[in-house]
Amino acid sequence: MAAITELDAVHLAGVYSHLASADAEPDCDDGFTACQQRRFETVLESIRQQRLQPGCRHLANSAGTLRDRGLHYDQVRVGLALYGHSPAPHLAGGVELLPALRLYARVSLIREVPAGVGVSYGHRFRTERPSRLAVLSIGYADGVPRLLSNQLEVLFRGQRLPQVGAITMDQLVLDATDCPALEVGSVVTLLGRDGDQEIQPQEWSERCGTIPWEILCGFKHRLPRLGTGPAAEA
């Protein structure tokens, strides 16, 4: 800090640190969040003793922001909360978060097949009855994890439809046997609310054994981004 103040070409804009376990239950992080804050305060006090200006002080990520106002300082750095999702269930009640992202895809093909038909690569799914299969024009190259194969569900008019077979680079297949209203051109919801049903990134991440941050960071540039508008305009 002292060296920085001696440099005419450098201006100290701020001092920050990052919390490692603020999303843990308060009795499960072994006091490490409090330890990190004490260390941060020690640095700030050292700066004050040198009569230097720390600039903007910031420490809290999304979890820290929702957990304790004492972690806010001058600014906070929300990430997952900016998308409208809580970093942990026990932090969800304090502030109303509104999901800022929905994911849609269109049905490109529907085919009726008999029982015993293998679906997609490796035939990891076989129809057990005469089935109506629908192809969606979205796949793992767009950010839908292949690990969700045979685990994914989508929404159409408030009804959950299961995905079947291996998710491919550009496509995935739905079992629409119990949804006769679904047709070529229909728009389904992969993430977001439809009627009284909602699918959140946490549902995907739990089934993949990862975290919702990775899900939300995985959507590729070739997916069109729409600022506003209903699913029918997607």
| pLDDT above 70: residue 230 | no
* 30 and 68 both lie in a single domain: yes
Which tens digits make up the pLDDT trace of 58-99?
A: 999 999 999 999 999 999 999 999 999 999 888 988 888 999
* 75 and 125 both lie in a single domain: no
* 159 and 83 both lie in a single domain: no
Check residue 124 and give its pLDDT.
94
Which tens digits make up the pLDDT trace of 7-22?
A: 889 888 999 999 999 9
* 56 and 109 both lie in a single domain: no
* 170 and 209 both lie in a single domain: yes
* 25 and 60 both lie in a single domain: yes
Beta carbons within 8 Å of 201's beta carbon, 6+ residues apart: 83, 85, 191, 212, 215, 216
Check residue 234 and give its pLDDT.
45
| pLDDT above 50: residue 231 | no
* 122 and 182 both lie in a single domain: yes
What residues are paired with 215 via a beta bridge? Answer: none
CATH number at residue 30: 3.20.20.10
Domain boundary among 91, 126, 151: 91
Check residue 229 and give its pLDDT.
54
Note whether residue 233 is domain-resident. Answer: no
* 107 and 219 both lie in a single domain: yes
* 124 and 193 both lie in a single domain: yes
Note whether residue 58 is domain-resident. Answer: yes
| pLDDT above 70: residue 218 | yes
Note whether residue 7 is domain-resident. Answer: yes
* 175 and 215 both lie in a single domain: yes
The string over 63-78, giving b where at least 16 C-beta atoms fall within 10 Å of a residue's C-beta and e elsewhere, is bbbbbbeebebeebbb
Q: How many domains does the chain have?
A: 2
Note whether residue 36 is domain-resident. Answer: yes
Beta carbons within 8 Å of 83's beta carbon, 6+ residues apart: 99, 100, 101, 201, 216
Find the domain containing 46 and state its range.
2-91
Pairing of strands 103-113, 187-194: antiparallel
Note whether residue 231 is domain-resident. Answer: no
Note whether residue 81 is domain-resident. Answer: yes
CATH number at residue 118: 2.40.37.10
Which tens digits make up the pLDDT trace of 90-125?
A: 898 888 899 999 999 999 999 999 999 999 999 999
Note whether residue 234 is domain-resident. Answer: no
Which tens digits make up the pLDDT trace of 157-202?
A: 999 999 999 999 999 999 999 999 999 999 999 999 999 999 999 9
- The mean pLDDT of the chain is 92
